[in-house]
Amino acid sequence: MAPVMMTPDPTPNRLQELIDLAVVSELSDSEMRELEELLQGDGAALAMFLKCCQLETDLHFHTRASLSGRRALADLLPFEHKSVVPNKSTSDGLAARRSLMGLAAALLVGLFAWWSASYWREIPAERQPRPIARLAESDNAHWLGDDGPIVGHEFVEGDSVYLTKGHARISMSSGAEVVLRSPCFVTLAAADRVQLEEGIVTAQVAEWGRGFTVATAAMNVVDLGTKFAVAASARGVSEAHVLDGQVRVQPLSNVSSSRRSLLLSGGEAFRVEIERKVAIRLKADRALYDAEMGDNPPLKPIVTFNTGKGLMAGDEDPHWRISAGSKCTAYDGPQFAVVCDADIRYLQNDRDSSQWISVANPVRPGVPPGTEFTFENTFDLTGFDVSTVTIAAQVIADNGVRAVRVNGQPISLASWSLNERDQYFNRFVVVEIRDFLQPGINRVEFDVWNGVDRYAPEAPNPVAIRVEWQGFGRPLQAPPNSIVLN
Amino acid sequence: MQRIVDYQAAAPPQQAAARTEALQGCLQRLPRSDRELVEQCYGSETKIKDIADGLGRSAGAVYTSLCRIRQALLACIERALTSEAK
User: Splitting chain A (486 residues) into consecutive groups of 10 residues, what average pLDDT does each group show?
Assistant: 40 76 76 79 75 79 64 41 41 50 52 50 83 94 85 93 94 96 94 95 95 95 94 92 95 67 94 88 90 87 97 97 95 97 93 97 95 98 96 96 98 93 90 95 98 90 97 82 46
**Which parts of chain B register pLDDT below 70?**
1-16, 84-86
Rounded to an integer, what distance in angstroms lies between the CA atom of residue B24 and that of residue B18?
10
The residues near A374 (Cβ < 8 Å, ≥ 6 apart) are: A322, A323, A324, A325, A445, A446, A447, A448
| B24 and B73 Cβ atoms separated by less than 8 Å | no
Res A72: pLDDT: 41
Rounded to an integer, what distance in angstroms lies between the CA atom of residue A290 and that of residue A295?
15
| B76 and B31 Cβ atoms separated by less than 8 Å | no
Contacts with B30 from chain A: Cβ below 8 Å: 1, 5
Res A7: pLDDT: 42
* C-alpha atoms less than 13 angstroms from C-alpha of B66 in its C-beta half-sphere: 28
Indicate yes or no: CB of B29 within 8 angstroms of CB of A456. Answer: yes
| A189 and A158 Cβ atoms separated by less than 8 Å | yes
Rounded to an integer, what distance in angstroms lies between the CA atom of residue A28 and that of residue A35?
10
Rounded to an integer, what distance in angstroms lies between the CA atom of residue A441 and that of residue A213?
32
| A171 and A299 Cβ atoms separated by less than 8 Å | yes
Q: Which residue of B has its CA nearest to A365?
A: B29
Res A80: pLDDT: 43
Res A478: pLDDT: 67
**Rg of the Cα atoms in chain A:** 32
Across the interface, of B43, B48, B73, the residue whose CB is closest to A67 is: B43
Res A370: pLDDT: 95
Contacts with A67 from chain B: Cβ below 8 Å: 39, 43-44
Contacts with B76 from chain A: Cβ below 8 Å: 5, 455-456
